[in-house]
């Protein structure tokens, strides 16, 4: 009888361990950005050559080797994003009515070196929309 209980106990412990591992994987693969539209996942660390449009980034991040991601929002969401990610603006650029903010956030992972800075959050704001990406926004805006 004791062997049966030990066996049941071992199976329960194994199931709890598997559930914890699955939950940890979900947390590690959660999308960086909430809401928005046009969610993109970057499979290449330095270009848009391997970009996947995602309707369910949480699911897709579980199965794809994601190296970065971006999303678009209506309106100017710069201040909200800077606050949410506790980001510091490192430098800005403006071209064709779009202001690009290159930032570093302590809550995001490693970034890329750009103009001597480690950038891990890129926010681009136009009159109509905001795009946010980590480490950078690849492709057009």
Residue (of 125, 107, 104, 126) closest to 116 by Cα position: 104
In a domain, 90, yes or no: yes
Q: Which residue has the higher pLDDT, 11 or 104?
A: 104
In a domain, 118, yes or no: yes
pTM of the model: 0.77
In a domain, 10, yes or no: no
In a domain, 14, yes or no: no
Tokens of 67: 């190296």
Q: Cis check for the bond before 126: say yes or no (omega within 30 of 0).
A: no
- Give the bridge partners for 92, in sequence order: 101
Kindly write down the DSSP assignment for every residue of 9-47, as one continuous string: HHHHHHHHHHHHHHHHHHHHT--SS-S-EEEEEESSSS-
In a domain, 25, yes or no: no
In a domain, 140, yes or no: no
Q: How far apart are alpha carbons 36 and 52 in whole angstroms?
A: 16
pLDDT tens, position by position, 9-46? 666 656 555 544 444 444 445 788 888 888 998 887 66
Lowest mean pLDDT among 16-20, 56-60, 111-115: 16-20
Domain residues for the domain of 103 are: 31-134
State how many domains the chain has.
1
Tokens of 88: 């510091």
pLDDT at residue 123 tops 70: yes
């Amino acid at each position: 009888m004791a062997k049966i209980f030990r066996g049941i106990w071992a199976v329960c412990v194994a199931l709890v361990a598997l559930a914890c591992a699955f939950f940890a994987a979900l947390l590690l693969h959660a999308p960086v950005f909430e809401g928005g539209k046009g969610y993109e996942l970057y499979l290449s660390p330095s270009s848009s050559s391997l970009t996947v449009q995602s309707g369910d980034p949480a699911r897709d991040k579980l199965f794809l080797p994601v190296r970065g991601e971006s999303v678009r929002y209506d309106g100017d969401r710069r201040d909200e994003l800077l606050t949410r990610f506790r980001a510091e603006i490192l430098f800005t650029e403006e071209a064709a009515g779009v202001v690009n903010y290159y930032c570093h956030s302590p809550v995001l992972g490693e970034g890329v070196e750009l103009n001597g800075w480690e950038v891990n959050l890129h926010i681009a704001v136009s009159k109509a929309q905001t795009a946010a990406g980590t480490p950078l926004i690849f492709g057009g805006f």
